[in-house]
């Protein structure tokens, strides 16, 4: 986007201050027109600028009343209606890391080097869990399939409302990996000799998608409570591990 287009977009998003600024310019020129001109053609230039200011005020008012206010009303309705879907998507990547931390703790596997912002450490942690419990492969493959299916259902539910959301949020949803398109996520096959690599890949891609969506929602719809740290992973031994917000934001 060019600098001129970016300036125009910001002006349209701040109509009150834009109208005030343009009004001050027009009023100042109106006052100055009552004095003799200091240079030729000062009055003619002033009239052009004044008329341009009035035209811009009309354009901003038109955009505000007929476009922006209805769009804001639609956004106020759309975001709360899809809060649960946003929560599921935002927590998806960090939820997997909470499972890895809990499972590794129970199995005395390697977790000290698990860094949510380092893909290699995530793969090392997943590998250590698979190494401790080789029989976990089938269970994890089924759970990953269900997890991806749930994410795709959330994305499908949001698809019809995308045009009512802010552009940054719509872009984050478009880039979110799931079960369709070239970015689709596939659980490891039963014959895969290194299933931990596929699972670590899924966890990393979901983390990246969750971070983009979380940042977009915080910037455009901070009123939506995403309840990130209320996400919980429960184990059969009775222990629970909460989703960590630091996995999404530094």
Considering the domain architecture, whether residues 49 and 170 belong to the same structural domain is answered as no
Q: Is the peptide bond before 155 cis (omega within 30 degrees of 0)?
A: no
Considering the domain architecture, whether residues 22 and 111 belong to the same structural domain is answered as no
Could you tell me what percent of the chain has a pLDDT over 90? 29
Residue at which a domain ends, from 76, 106, 133? 76
Residue at which a domain ends, from 47, 76, 105? 76
CB count in 10 Å sphere of residue 93: 26
- Residue 214 pLDDT class (50, 70, 90 cuts): very high
pLDDT at 203: 94
Residue at which a domain ends, from 76, 94, 129? 76
pLDDT at 197: 92
Considering the domain architecture, whether residues 65 and 126 belong to the same structural domain is answered as no
Considering the domain architecture, whether residues 115 and 238 belong to the same structural domain is answered as yes
Q: At what angle do helices 15-32 and 3-13 cross, to 10 degrees?
A: 100
Tokens 């690599």, residue located: 197
Total number of domains in the chain: 2
- Whether the per-residue pLDDT at 63 is higher than 80: the answer is no
- Residue-wise pLDDT for 68-102, tens only, equals 777 778 788 889 999 999 999 999 999 999 888 88
DSSP string of 208-238, one letter each residue: HHHHHHHHHHHHH-TTS---GGG-EEE-TTS
- Residue 176 pLDDT class (50, 70, 90 cuts): very high
* Residue ranges making up the domain that contains 180: 82-247
Considering the domain architecture, whether residues 140 and 190 belong to the same structural domain is answered as yes
- Whether the per-residue pLDDT at 229 is higher than 70: the answer is yes
């Amino acid at each position: 986007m060019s600098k001129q287009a970016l300036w125009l977009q910001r002006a349209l998003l701040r109509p009150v201050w834009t109208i005030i600024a343009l009004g001050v310019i027009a009023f100042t020129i109106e006052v100055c027109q009552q004095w003799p001109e200091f240079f030729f053609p000062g009055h003619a230039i002033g009239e052009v600028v004044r008329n341009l200011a009035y035209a811009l005020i009309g354009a901003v008012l038109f955009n505000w009343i007929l476009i922006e206010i209805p769009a804001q009303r639609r956004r106020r309705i759309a975001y709360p209606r899809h809060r649960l879907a946003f929560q599921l998507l935002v927590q998806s990547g960090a939820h997997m890391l909470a499972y890895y931390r809990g499972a590794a703790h129970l199995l005395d596997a390697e977790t000290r080097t698990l860094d949510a912002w380092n893909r290699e450490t995530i793969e090392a942690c997943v590998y250590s869990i698979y190494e401790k419990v080789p029989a976990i492969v089938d269970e994890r493959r089924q759970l990953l399939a269900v997890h991806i299916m749930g994410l795709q259902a959330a994305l499908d539910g949001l698809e019809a409302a995308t045009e009512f959301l802010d552009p940054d949020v719509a872009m984050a949803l478009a880039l979110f990996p799931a079960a369709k398109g070239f970015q689709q996520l596939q659980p490891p096959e039963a014959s895969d000799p290194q299933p931990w690599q596929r699972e670590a890949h899924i966890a990393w891609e979901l983390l990246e998608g969750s971070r983009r969506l979380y940042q977009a929602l915080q910037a455009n719809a901070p009123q939506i409570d995403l309840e990130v740290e209320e996400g919980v992973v429960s184990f059969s031994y009775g222990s629970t591990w909460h989703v960590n917000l630091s996995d999404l934001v530094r």
